[in-house]
């Protein structure tokens, strides 16, 4: 039973093609916001990415980062520590809008939420694991409204059920930087 809020952001579970791939993007050295593996990220007008924000279009989900630190050491990490000074910064992002993720809601969701849309809630990156703490909102968007993510089904984990205190569901990005938005049904 999903009785405990233990978010890990958006974890890819499958893609219709059978291949889940991350593509390289970048952000500036010294970027002042922490990014965790599983965080929704968005495209920025200067050609870089930034951490996603509630209700904004999303580019995809962060898979990890690579960079050369200020001492010249190549570094691979699941997360970006805010204000890190580095060169050759690469942010790996699952950016295919058909990718399906599992995510935990910040409240209870009912079976009637399938095909509804829902927004993301920001969280603080876990400094120990580097994982995201983003969750889904506690309530879905009403019919005709746009949400960042589309609920596809209940996560089939054995300790998860509709109506649990913090339901886990499968979602896809519905408000994507690469396509026009479509409202919920």
Give the domain-ending residue among 94, 122, 157.
94
Looking at 51, 67, 94, the residue that finishes a domain is 94
pLDDT reading at 29 higher than 90: no
DSSP β-ladder status, 120-121 and 135-136: antiparallel
Q: What's residue 185's pLDDT? A: 64
SS3 134: coil
How many domains in the chain? Answer: 2
Asked if residue 87 and residue 134 are part of one domain, the reply reads: no
- 11-14 vs 23-25, strand pairing mode: unpaired
Residues 46 and 27 in one domain: yes
Query: Containing domain of residue 107, as a range?
Result: 98-173
Evaluate whether residue 113 is within a structural domain: yes
78 with 23, same domain?
Answer: yes
- Residue that terminates a domain, selected from 94, 127, 155: 94
132-159 confidence digits (pLDDT tens): 999 999 999 877 788 999 999 999 999 9
Residue-wise pLDDT tens digits, 52-66: 998 889 999 999 999
Position 131 scores a pLDDT of 96
Identify the pLDDT of residue 142. 78
- 75 and 129 in one domain? no
Check pLDDT > 60 for residue 1: no
pTM: 0.93
Under 8 Å CB-to-CB from 131, ≥6 apart: which residues? 8, 9, 36, 37, 38, 78, 79, 125
> Which has more pLDDT, 171 or 54?
171
């Amino acid at each position: 039973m999903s009785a405990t809020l233990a978010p890990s952001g958006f974890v890819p579970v499958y893609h219709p093609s059978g291949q889940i791939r991350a593509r390289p993007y970048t952000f500036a050295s010294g970027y002042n916001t922490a990014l965790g593996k599983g965080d929704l990220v968005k495209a920025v007008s200067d050609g870089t990415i930034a951490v996603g924000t509630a209700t904004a279009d999303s580019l995809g989900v962060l898979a990890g980062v690579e960079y050369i630190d200020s001492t010249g050491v190549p570094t691979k990490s699941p997360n970006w520590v805010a204000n890190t000074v580095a060169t050759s910064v690469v942010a790996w992002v699952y950016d295919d809008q058909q990718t399906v993720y599992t995510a935990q809601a910040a409240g209870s969701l009912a079976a009637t939420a399938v095909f509804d849309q829902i927004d993301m809630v920001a969280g603080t990156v876990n400094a120990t694991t580097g994982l995201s703490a983003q969750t889904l909102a506690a309530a879905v968007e009403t019919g005709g409204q746009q949400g960042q993510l589309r609920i596809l089904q209940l996560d089939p984990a054995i300790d998860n059920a509709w109506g649990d205190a913090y339901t886990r569901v499968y979602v896809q990005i519905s408000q994507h930087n690469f396509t026009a938005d479509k409202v919920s049904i």
